[in-house]
Amino acid sequence: MANASLFQTLKSKLLPAADALDFEAAPAYRLAPKHRLAQYAATGCLNDTWYAGAENQLETILGLAREIDSRFIAQTAIYCRERGYMKDMPALLAALLAARGAPELVLVFGRVIDNGRMLRNFVQILRSGATGRKSLGTRPKKLVQQWLNGASEQALLAAAVGTTPSLADVVKMVHPKPAEAWREAFFAWLIGKPCAVQALPASVRAFEVWKKERGAELPAVPFQMLTALELPAAAWAQLALRGGWQMLRMNLNTFQRHGVFELPGMIGAVAARLRDPLEIARARVFPYQLMAACRSANADLPGMLHEALRDALEISLAKVPRIEGRVVVCPDVSGSMSSPVSGYRGSATTKMRCIDVAALVAAAMLRTNPQTRVLPFAQDVVEVGLDAGDPVMANAERLASVCGGGTNCSAPLARLNRMKARADLVVFVSDNQSWIDATRSGATATMHEWRRFKQRNPQARLVCIDITPYGTVQAQEAADVLNVGGFSDAVFDIAAAFAAGQLQSDHWVGEIEAVAL
């Protein structure tokens, strides 16, 4: 009898052979250039990750950009800013368009550079020389001038907070020619030149008066301009009540340090803001940002505030769509998933790990689709007791608590095949660096197990959510396989649309190419 392992069946040979190695030197599939750029745009943090350093990521993006047309780069910049709410990556892509003199920059600029921080990011990246030039150039300079001459008083004040470069540095670089007297006075005040004080915006005049007199009522300027000065607890309380929702969420520990929650009524007032559905919707908050707030909140914060954060997380998940049919979610809980989701940034490193995001996605889908089967995996499937009726944060914490071990992406599919299980949608959340199940040649173990699964579930679809920008996957893109990057709300919608057969054959790249310029 012929060697069965050597002479495979025709059906087995039809499986695509792995054409790359992942960071564990195990077989994988390399994404096409457009798909790789899209993955980096949705997940890239430009900081060191478990496997790839920040410089490595930047070099990869610059190399990919050389292979891709300016239109797709522009569409990707808009997508990851408007759908993924990214900051550094869309600014980098806009700077790449500027460096190559692409006319698409004009179409992209206003949608990507939509606030002062993004403006400073764009100027910093372009001036660094990373994209091949160190000067702004005529067209980018005019676009920056237009932003400065068109931004509102509130936007300019917000932009004035921050350095490297500061807004004053940007003004000195591009020399805007404002038409309004108040704007001319503001720019002069910003860079420390004599100005017509009476022409300054009212908020700036009030700030200058307050600095001298320190009245009880705080001027309406960004809170960072005030917190740099010595403030009493009552002033900090004012900031907590009137500041933006995201600012409040990010500064709970700071407010506690300054005695805000010792003042009568402040605990209840802040808790009410945190769990306000309208404020949560306006803030466009990521569920993972709220999970980060839950994890970062000091243990000795008032219990009502911890409860409010958890309530806010539940509210933020209201947009997670319900998926028809039987759903299986497979969160990767291996050791590499313990790395920070936005990379290592020294003292600024987030407490949110890749495992936390994977656990959050699984817990959120379990809450929205109570019949969901969750199969966490490392070197094999890990047994974790979850309850669809429990709060999302509770289930996420149970999943995240088992992090450790090697990576075997085929393990959940192998378990489903042994059980002869039925399912309509299988969702993986992983970094795709699978090595326990490395094959010597041919397709990856994940693809072999997926083929077996499809023989029993011919209409099933596979969605692989990648939360790290490594450029390889374990399941090759096909009519029934979608590889998508990121951890924003968009991945839930895209997964639901794919499960319902509503996406084009080119899937995620097609979503980006559909962005109108």
Kindly state whether residue 96 falls inside one of the protein's structural domains: yes
Residues 388 and 465 in one domain: yes
Residues 109 and 213 in one domain: yes
The pair of structure tokens assigned to 154 is 């509130």
Domain boundary among 211, 244, 277: 244
The pair of structure tokens assigned to 288 is 């993972």
What integer best gives the mean pLDDT of the chain?
A: 88
Residues 240 and 326 in one domain: no
Q: Which residues contact 256 (CB under 8 A, 6 or more apart)?
A: 298, 300, 301
* Measured distance CA(429)–CA(50) in Å, rounded: 16
Give the per-residue pLDDT at 8.
Answer: 46
Beta-bridge partner residues of 27? 21
**Structural domain total, the chain:** 2
Residues 231 and 350 in one domain: no
Kindly state whether residue 281 falls inside one of the protein's structural domains: no
* Measured distance CA(476)–CA(17) in Å, rounded: 9
pLDDT digits (tens, 9 = 90+) for 182-193: 999 999 999 999
Residues 24 and 50 in one domain: no
Kindly state whether residue 2 falls inside one of the protein's structural domains: no
pLDDT digits (tens, 9 = 90+) for 394-413: 888 888 888 889 999 999 99
Kindly state whether residue 256 falls inside one of the protein's structural domains: no
The answer to whether residues 123 and 173 touch, using CB atoms and an 8 Å cutoff, is: yes
CATH classification of the domain holding 445: 3.40.50.410
pLDDT digits (tens, 9 = 90+) for 102-113: 999 999 999 999
Residues 23 and 62 in one domain: no
Kindly state whether residue 424 falls inside one of the protein's structural domains: yes
Residues 228 and 331 in one domain: no
Residues 24 and 146 in one domain: no
- In the chain, the amino acid numbered 113 is I
Residues 228 and 363 in one domain: no
Residues 36 and 23 in one domain: no
Residues 24 and 95 in one domain: no
Closest C-alpha among 274, 313, 303 to residue 394: 313
Q: Which domain holds residue 39?
A: 32-244
pLDDT digits (tens, 9 = 90+) for 314-333: 898 877 888 889 999 999 99
Residues 67 and 206 in one domain: yes
Q: For helices 266-274 and 233-242, give the axis angle rounded to 10 degrees.
A: 20
What residues in the chain have per-residue pLDDT under 70? 1-13, 43-54, 343-349, 504-505
* Measured distance CA(66)–CA(100) in Å, rounded: 10
* Measured distance CA(148)–CA(491) in Å, rounded: 34
Kindly state whether residue 306 falls inside one of the protein's structural domains: no
Give the per-residue pLDDT at 439.
Answer: 83
Domain boundary among 189, 217, 244: 244
* Measured distance CA(207)–CA(209) in Å, rounded: 5
Kindly state whether residue 303 falls inside one of the protein's structural domains: no
Domain boundary among 220, 244, 268: 244
Kindly state whether residue 338 falls inside one of the protein's structural domains: yes
* Measured distance CA(467)–CA(465) in Å, rounded: 6
